[in-house]
Every structure is written in C-alpha cells, then in structure tokens.
C-alpha cells in the first residue's frame, strides 16, 4: 500500500478534508510548465439533456483519466490518484460555476427559497483498479432579497464554486436546512472517500 495519494484537484477545501482524515497527499495539477495544456472547460461541458447525476460522475471519470495520463506522462512515483467533482442541481438543471456577477446573481435568485441537490462524485484509481462513489445532499436556502444576493456576490465568494456559493463561507448564514453530507457539499464527502481508501487497505 502506498504511503500517500495524489489529489488531482486545485480545491483547497478538498485538500483540507483529506488532512482531516490524516491522509498524506500530494497535488497532481494540470497545466504546469513544460507539460501538455489540458482543457478543463471541455471536460466540464454539459452534454445535451444530460442528467445531473450522470454528468457529475462522467466528469469525475474524465478528470481521473486526465490525471492518470498526467501521472504517467510526468514519470512520477506510482500512487493512488483521487479526483472529485461537485455540481449543484435545481431539479434537472445543472448550475455550474458562474462566469460573472450577473450569472452568479441569476443562479442565487433561482436557489432563493428553494431546496436543491448538491452532488459530489469521487473516483480513486490504483493501477488498473478504479473505485467510485457518489454523495447526494439537499440544501435549502432562505428567501433572499436582491440586496442580500448582491452583497454576497460582491464578496467574491460565489466565483469558482458550483451553484455560486460556498457552504463553508458567508452563504452559511442564508442556508436554512441541510440533509446529507456537509463535507460532500464542501467538495469531498469524507465518509465515501474513507470507504474507497479502506478498500485499498488504508486504516481509516
């Protein structure tokens, strides 16, 4: 069993959650100097009529494919590779990362006073073995005024986050109810991740 894993994610929250499990990890990030340029936007593009659960699991698999190729290409020491993807779904509508303030405001207006799903898929590859898990949680926002939404967007927190919010930040003051995995909503479900690592022999 390896003494560490590679985390193929730029999210500091995922790194923090692995630290919570006392899992030693090293980042395996795309687009480093001298390497092949990877198109993250193409990987995260939604297919026509794609359901949120299918989408998040497909994208996570593609991220893992890219990370495994990255590991091989760079000739790094072999170790398990972990990837994850989080999406927010209001019904069958996928709410990704907002491109600008107007898009963030529009997303938050849709979520205001509603219950939505947060889906986080996790995939772990060890040699030819690939393990996957899916965490599904429900989040209800209070009815937010335009002024509250504008102030939140002005904080800068919505950018780079699916659904235009971060549960661990200022948005917590507007969330009425959560059902499911708090860590999954943050971006890496600790329970499911620990289960996958246990299958590889990790003592967690």
Residues 51/52/58/61 CA torsion (nearest 10 deg):
-160
- Structure confidence at residue 1 (pLDDT): 75
8 Å CB contact between 97 and 162: yes
Active site residues: 85
Mean pLDDT for 40-48 is 91
With a CB cutoff of 8 Å and minimum separation 6, the contacts of 114 are 90, 140, 141
pTM equals: 0.94
pLDDT tens digits, 107-138? 999 999 999 999 999 999 999 999 999 999 99
With a CB cutoff of 8 Å and minimum separation 6, the contacts of 102 are none
* Pairwise CA distance, residues 158 & 37, whole Å: 26
- Structure confidence at residue 33 (pLDDT): 74
- Structure confidence at residue 38 (pLDDT): 87
8 Å CB contact between 177 and 140: yes
């Amino acid at each position: 069993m390896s003494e560490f894993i590679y985390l193929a994610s730029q999210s500091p929250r995922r790194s923090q959650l692995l630290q919570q499990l006392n899992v030693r990890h090293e980042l395996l990030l795309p687009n480093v100097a001298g390497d092949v340029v990877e198109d993250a936007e193409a990987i995260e593009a939604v297919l026509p009529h794609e359901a949120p659960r299918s989408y998040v699991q497909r994208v996570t698999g593609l991220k893992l494919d890219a990370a495994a190729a990255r590991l091989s290409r760079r000739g790094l020491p072999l170790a398990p590779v972990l990837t994850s993807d989080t999406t927010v779904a209001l019904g069958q509508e996928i709410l990704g990362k907002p491109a600008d303030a107007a898009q963030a405001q529009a997303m938050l207006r849709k979520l205001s006073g509603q219950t939505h799903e947060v889906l986080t898929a996790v995939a772990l590859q060890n040699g030819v073995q690939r393990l996957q898990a899916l965490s599904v949680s429900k989040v209800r926002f209070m009815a937010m005024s335009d002024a509250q939404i504008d102030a939140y967007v002005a904080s800068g927190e919505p950018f780079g986050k699916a659904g235009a919010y971060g549960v661990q930040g200022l948005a917590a003051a507007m969330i009425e109810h959560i059902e499911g995995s708090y860590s999954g909503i943050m971006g890496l479900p600790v329970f499911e991740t620990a289960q996958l690592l246990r299958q590889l022999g990790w003592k967690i």
